[in-house]
Structure 1
Amino acid sequence: MPAIVLTPAQRKQHRSAAHHLDPVVMIGADGLTDAVLREADAALKAHGLIKLRVFSDDRDARAAMLDTLADRLDAAAIQHIGKLLVLWRPVPPQALEVADGRAAGPRVVKIVKFSKSGNHRPQVKKVRVLGNQRLTAGGLVKKARRRATSVKKTGAT
């Protein structure tokens, strides 16, 4: 598979995003094994942008590893600096979706509370709501309750 080709501006953007990342895959003395490729592929599927650390002193071998990884994993080689390699691949869209059309899982909800007197600014608070939680009318996060089903749908008389 050919590697993804990026413009210099896109590459610069990914380099800046990868600056604070820690290496998630370590390549030891055995080099690029099947296990290393599987781990790198799983990390790319989960994160999209990953750092790899190579425990080798040969710069040419590290550059060859970066090219091989990019080709075999269908990713873009972002950076090779010292013993660190950075790869990027777009994260695949999630297959699991809720019937409402939004994605399942945690989401950030903005809560606005207006003052009772009307003289003060409203308080804005962002809250993370997980999939098993609900937001009450008062702005509290509570455990989700089971949805009431119709008696006709359950078949009970």
Structure 2
Amino acid sequence: MLTGKQKRYLRSKAHHLQPIFQVGKGGVNENMSKQISDALEARELLKVSILQNCDEDKKDVAQALTSSTGAELVQIIGHTIVLYKESNENKEIVLP
């Protein structure tokens, strides 16, 4: 579980990032979860964009992604979700 100070630090790191995944009409599926999990291992911090044609609520999408990938939810802002998961091999981000 992330503390408030750690979330604030991660939000500042994620500010300049562009979303690399999009959740659309199909919602969150197993293949997408696998790809996001692999990307989290490589990057540790990433953004996921929720398209307007997505039928699910953004909080439900965030919950599905965090439970399926084992990541921590840093922030939901607008239609963008910021996820963090500590990498086992490519650790770059040092939390305060």
Question: Which structure has more helix as a fraction of its residues?
Answer: 2
8 Å CA contact retained: 1:24, 1:43 = no
Query: Max radius of gyration: which structure?
Result: 1
1:135-146 mapped onto 2 (5 Å cutoff)? none
Which has the larger share of strand? Answer: 1
Once the two structures are superposed, the pairs formed by residues 97-112 of structure 1 within 5 Å of their partners are none
2-structure distance, mates of 1:77, 1:56:
21
* Contact 2:24–2:53 under 8 Å retained in 1: no
State the percentage of identical aligned residues: 27
Uncovered stretches (5+) of structure 1, i.e. residues with no partner = 95-157
Runs ≥4 residues deviating over 4 A: none
**Which residue in 1 is equivalent to 2:43?**
47
* CA–CA distance in structure 1, aligned partners of residues 78 and 7 of structure 2: 18
**Is the 8 Å Cα contact of residues 11 and 78 (structure 1) preserved in structure 2?**
yes
Question: 1:63, 1:56 → 2: CA distance?
Answer: 14
Higher relative contact order (CA 8 A, sep 6+): 2
Q: Match for residue 11 of structure 1?
A: 7
Q: How many residues were matched structurally?
A: 89
Q: CA RMSD in A?
A: 1.6
**TM-score, length-scaled by structure 2:** 0.85
Residue 21 of structure 1 pairs with residue 26 of structure 2: no
Moved more, 45-54 or 30-39: 30-39
1:49–1:87 contact (8 Å) kept in structure 2: yes
Where do 5+ consecutive residues of structure 2 fail to align?
A: 91-96
1:51 partner amino acid: K
Asked if the contact 1:76–1:87 (Cα under 8 Å) also holds between the matched residues in 2, the reply is: yes
Is it true that 1:65 corresponds to 2:61 in the alignment?
Answer: yes
User: Displacement, 1:80?
Assistant: 0.3
